[in-house]
Amino acid sequence: MSRIGKKPVSLPAGVTATINGQTVTAKGPKGELKFVVNDEVLVKMENNEISVQPRDQSKNARSKWGMSRTQIVNILHGVKDGFEKKLEITGVGYRAALQGKNLQLALGFSHDVVYETPNGITITVPKPTEITVSGIDKQQVGQVAAEIREYRGPEPYKGKGVRYAGERIVRKEGKKK
C-alpha cells in the first residue's frame, strides 16, 4: 500500500481542476497545466478532492500510484504558487547577468556562456552571484536549474562553480608539501 497514494488531494483555494478520462487539468492564477495519468491508475474527483487508486494490485500499477498523486499535487501547487530554485555562483570573476531574455554567465571560460530561457520559465538575477529560476512546472524549473549548474558545477577543492542555494559541497584536502 502506498502511504502517499492513499491520501486524497484537496483543491487549494482559487484553483479549479477537471478530469477528462486520464487527463487532469488544473487552472489557477499562474496559468494552466495538464497531466496525463497512466492507464494503470484510476483518478476520481468528488467533494473538491481528487483521489488516486491503482486499477489492480499488480506491482506495476502500485508503483505508479504514489507518483501519479505527487504529480497531481505538483500541478495544483504550480498553478497556484509556482516553483522556484535558487543558484549561487562562487569564484573570482564568476558572475551572471540578464541580456534581454537570455542569461549570460561568466564562468572562467575564454568566452561567456549564453543560456536561452525556455518558454514558461522566468530567470532573475538579484545579484551578480545569484540566479533565481521560477515557473509553474516543477520538472521544467528543476531541469533549467540543472542545465545552468552543469556549465560549471562546484569543484571539491575550492568550491568554485555554480551550486544550488544551501547545497553542501564536500571539500577535499589539497596537496601537502
Q: Comparing C-alpha atoms, which of 109, 106, 100 is closest to residue 128? A: 106
Whether 92 and 134 share a structural domain: yes
127: Cα separation from own chain's centroid: 22
The answer to whether position 147 is within a domain reads yes
Give the model's confidence band at 2: pLDDT under 50 very low, under 70 low, under 90 confident, else very high.
low
Question: How high is the pLDDT of residue 46?
Answer: 86
Same domain, 89 and 148: yes
Instruction: Give me the residue label for grid cell 541580456.
Output: 99
pLDDT of residue 1: 63
Is the model's pLDDT at 173 over the cut of 70? Answer: yes
Q: How do residues 82-109 score in pLDDT, each as one tens digit?
A: 999 999 999 999 999 999 999 999 999 9
Q: Does the residue 174 lie in any domain?
A: no
Residue 122 is part of a domain; what is its CATH number?
A: 3.90.930.12
Average pLDDT, integer, range 38-63: 89
Could you tell me the pTM of the whole model? Answer: 0.88
Task: Point out the domain boundary residue: 80, 109, 139.
Answer: 80
> What is the rounded radius of gyration, in angstroms, for the C-alpha atoms of the chain?
21
What is the average pLDDT across 7-36?
A: 90
CA distances (Å), origin 98, targets 8, 34, 116, 124: 42, 30, 10, 7
Query: Considering the domain boundaries, does residue 143 fall inside one?
Result: yes
pLDDT at 5: 80
Question: Does residue 107 contact residue 151 with C-beta atoms inside 8 Å?
Answer: yes
For the chain, give the mean pLDDT: 91
Percent of the chain residues past pLDDT 90, beyond the cut? 66
Q: Which domain holds residue 28?
A: 3-80
Mean pLDDT of 71-77: 93
Amino acid at 162: V
Percent of the chain with pLDDT over 70: 99
pLDDT at 47 over 70: yes
β-strand partners of 121 = 135
Domains in the chain: how many in total? 2
Q: Across-strand partners of 27?
A: 16, 32
